[in-house]
Amino acid sequence: MAGETVLVVGGAGYIGSHTCLDLANKGFQPVVYDNFSNGHREFVKWGPAEEGDIRDRARLDEVLAKHKPAAILHFAALIEVGESVKDPVSFYENNVIGTLTLLSAAQAAGVKAFVFSSTCATYGLPQSVPLDESHQQVPINPYGRTKYIVEQALADYDQYKGLRSVVLRYFNAAGADFEGRIGEWHTPETHAIPLAIEAALGRRQGFKVFGSDYDTRDGTCVRDYIHVLDLADAHVRAVEYLLDGGESVALNLGTGTGTTVKELLGTIETVSKRPFPVEYVGRREGDSTTLVANNDKARDILGWSPQYDLSRIIESAWNWHAKSNQH
């Protein structure tokens, strides 16, 4: 498989760029396809870039004919839950119509291996924790629904068209490349770790915690934070699994360890050695009390296990944000 070309759609974004780094380290040739609406040209460091939108079938056909990839990794999605509630149309146009256009182009080009960046948001409100892949899927916002629709389409493409896929349902992606070459950079930033680090760096007023009366060990929500390099490793393993003839499957990607918001903030303060103001406010609509992955299936099928704990996640994120001028 070494030397095989992999088209990384959305490869200039946060998780896509770290996956390009891992692909290159493992002997693959990543080719980035991105419209750069949220991705960063500066993050394309490990292979060529092709500019284009996933809704542009002619451009997709051109790029697929030029590079003849053995597999496609698909990261190009709108991801902000709050924005999906305000503007569901954009999410359906990009995440659903765009993905179906990409799948048609992949089929026409004879690509047989497709790895899809999905989310634990497809599960909706957890009925049991930790969540495994058999948990019912009842998403509670347009973002989660668009991802779930694509998962259902992929099951049909597998059954009726022979396109094998691995669906990867992420929990909370976090951290950065340890050498500080790439990291988390969203505009606007909505994720807890970068927001808290920016507060510790004095780049914002402080950090707001939404809800302190949840039924958890300290009253704050519990989340499963997974290092972006562990996510990248799982994606490359998924490509190898499909190229080796693996069957279509959906897998959770998380550590299996829950961290409360208070514990997260404590770890950031310990790593940074910089206390910062924290304000406790009311609950935010749609937030689940606890989201933690059961990752047994990914371990069994891909031989994957996360390597980095919360301290290492925060160290790498702190290193990236402290050094970076892009914020």
Per-residue confidence in pLDDT tens, the chain, 327 aa: 668 999 999 999 999 999 999 999 999 999 999 999 999 999 999 999 999 999 999 999 999 999 999 999 999 998 888 888 899 999 999 999 999 999 999 999 999 999 999 999 999 989 999 999 999 999 989 999 999 999 999 999 999 999 999 999 999 999 999 999 999 988 888 889 999 999 999 999 999 999 999 999 999 999 999 999 999 999 999 999 999 999 999 999 999 999 999 999 999 999 999 999 999 999 987 788 999 999 999 999 999 999 999 999 999 999 999 987 554
d(CA 231, CA 120): 14
Instruction: Select from 220, 308, 318 the least CA-distant residue to 273.
Output: 318
Sheet with 259-260, side-by-side order of all strands? 259-260, 222-223, 290-291
Q: Global pTM?
A: 0.95
Judge whether 50 lies within some domain: yes
123 is catalytic: no
**Residues 118/150, Cβ–Cβ less than 8 Å:** yes
The Cα 156–Cα 236 span in angstroms is 24
Evaluate whether residue 44 is within a structural domain: yes
Question: Cα 192 to the chain's mean position, in Å?
Answer: 15
Q: Residue 62 maps to which CATH number?
A: 3.40.50.720
Question: Has residue 165 been placed in a domain?
Answer: yes
SS3 (DSSP) at 307 = coil
Q: Has residue 189 been placed in a domain?
A: no
Answer yes or no: is 309 within a domain.
no
Residue 316 lies in a domain: no
Q: How many beta carbons lie within 10 A of that of residue 104, not counting itself?
A: 14
Give pLDDT, residue 324: 75
- Note whether residue 273 is domain-resident: no
When divided into structural domains, the chain yields a total of 1
CA 308 to chain centroid:
16
Range of the domain at 71: 5-173+226-253
Q: How far is CA 272 from the centre of its chain?
A: 25
C-beta of residue 183 within 8 angstroms of C-beta of residue 320? yes
User: For residue 105, is it within any domain?
Assistant: yes
Catalytic residue among 123, 143, 214, 225: 143
